[in-house]
């Protein structure tokens, strides 16, 4: 899937002060990302606070993004969880020509064995009508999907087309790149290692900061894919502080603070998450403002 090369962004779900979904803000963010040059949009991922949304709210988010995007960029939908039965049911029921692939996280909290992870994705693969991107994020799930398991899935199921790898360990990322089938995508799910992953042979990133600084971040990844080490590294170094700041008090509190600075949406998040502190907001605003002059 060529659509998975470059910069994808894991879109936030903007909320109003009363915690209802702000569809107008969501439209603005979609336009901002498309105009900024990102390559695809990821809908209802962790950054979108999907675990706090009910079914009707998820449909509202999906429909709003589909309409705002208007076919301009490929769309990836997050469908994941720790109940294999429920996820299989959702994936089997999902029918939409508007989405190009599914992003599915490794089961969290249960802490399955590698065989359990394999069987979970095997069950999903057998009912999916869309390509599947695996998602490994040990810091959230409590278990690490090892390269041997990922490569086994990649070899056994042709509709498993890539992995969003957020382990933060470049040795593990390199094992995936070295062992993967030709058409399988290794995609960074970790902003600080995004450029390193691309320079090592990965396909790109599904980014958080990329939706706040879409032009700069997508340019960095394009330069990395072109093996332009010097220029891509300059952009990485310029944004590296922001990569740390937006996760300082949890995701998506940080990236929503950037959007508040940009006047694209409110910084409100849903419990159990809380809005970024005034101190962090000030640091984030200080980080962002010089880039606004660059991209103006």
pTM for the whole thing? 0.96
Task: Read off the tokens for 162.
Answer: 């890539």
Whole-number pLDDT of residue 292: 82
CB contact at 8 A, 130 and 110:
no
From the list 118, 135, 281, 283, the catalytic residue is: 135
The reply to whether 256 falls in a domain is no
CB contact at 8 A, 190 and 166:
yes
Residues above pLDDT 70, as percent of the chain = 98
The reply to whether 263 falls in a domain is no
The reply to whether 261 falls in a domain is no
Average pLDDT over residues 267-283: 98
Handedness of CA 225, 230, 232, 237 (dihedral sign): positive
Angstrom distance (rounded) from CA 208 to CA 243: 8
Known catalytic residue at 164: yes
- Domain enclosing residue 173, as ranges: 2-228
Token pair 């332009």 is found at: 228
Classify residue 57 as exposed, middle or buried by CB count within 10 Å of its CB (0-12, 13-18, 19+). Answer: middle
> How many domains does the structure of the chain reveal?
1
Question: pLDDT digits over 91-148, tens only?
Answer: 999 989 999 999 999 999 999 999 999 999 999 999 999 999 999 999 999 999 999 9
Those residues whose C-beta lies under 8 Å from the C-beta of residue 127, and which sit 6 or more positions away, are: 88, 91, 92
The CATH number that applies at residue 43 is 3.20.20.70
The reply to whether 235 falls in a domain is no
Known catalytic residue at 135: yes
From the list 130, 164, 281, 283, the catalytic residue is: 164
User: Furthest-apart CA pair in the chain: how many Å?
Assistant: 51
Question: pLDDT digits over 241-255, tens only?
Answer: 999 999 999 999 999
C-alpha dihedral, 18 to 282 to 195 to 222, nearest 10°: 80
The reply to whether 240 falls in a domain is no
The reply to whether 250 falls in a domain is no
The reply to whether 57 falls in a domain is yes
């Amino acid at each position: 899937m060529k659509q998975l090369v470059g910069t994808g962004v894991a879109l936030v779900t903007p909320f109003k002060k009363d915690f209802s979904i702000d569809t107008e803000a969501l439209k603005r963010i979609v336009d901002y990302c498309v105009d900024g040059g990102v390559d695809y949009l990821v809908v209802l991922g962790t950054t979108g606070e999907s675990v706090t949304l009910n079914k009707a709210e998820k449909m509202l988010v999906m429909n709003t993004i589909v309409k705002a995007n208007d076919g301009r960029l490929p769309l990836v939908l997050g469908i994941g969880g720790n109940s294999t039965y429920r996820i299989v049911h959702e994936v089997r029921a999902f029918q939409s020509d508007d989405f190009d692939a599914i992003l599915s996280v490794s089961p969290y909290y249960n802490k399955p064995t590698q065989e359990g992870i394999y069987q979970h994705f095997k069950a999903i693969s057998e009912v999916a009508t869309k390509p599947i991107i695996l998602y490994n994020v040990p810091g959230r799930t409590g278990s690490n999907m090892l390269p041997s398991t990922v490569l086994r899935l990649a070899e056994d199921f042709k509709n498993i087309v890539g992995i969003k790898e957020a382990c933060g360990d470049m040795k593990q990322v390199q094992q995936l790149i070295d062992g993967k089938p030709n058409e399988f995508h290794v995609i960074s799910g970790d902003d600080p290692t995004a450029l390193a992953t691309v320079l090592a042979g990965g396909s790109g990133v599904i980014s958080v900061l990329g939706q706040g600084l879409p032009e700069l971040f997508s340019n960095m990844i394009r330069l990395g894919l072109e093996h332009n080490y010097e220029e891509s590294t300059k952009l990485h170094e310029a944004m590296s502080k922001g990569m740390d700041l937006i996760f300082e008090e949890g995701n998506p509190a940080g990236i929503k603070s950037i959007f508040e600075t940009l006047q694209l949406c409110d910084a409100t998040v849903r419990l159990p998450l809380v809005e970024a502190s005034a101190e962090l907001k000030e640091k984030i605003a200080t980080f962002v403002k010089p880039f606004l002059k660059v991209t103006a």
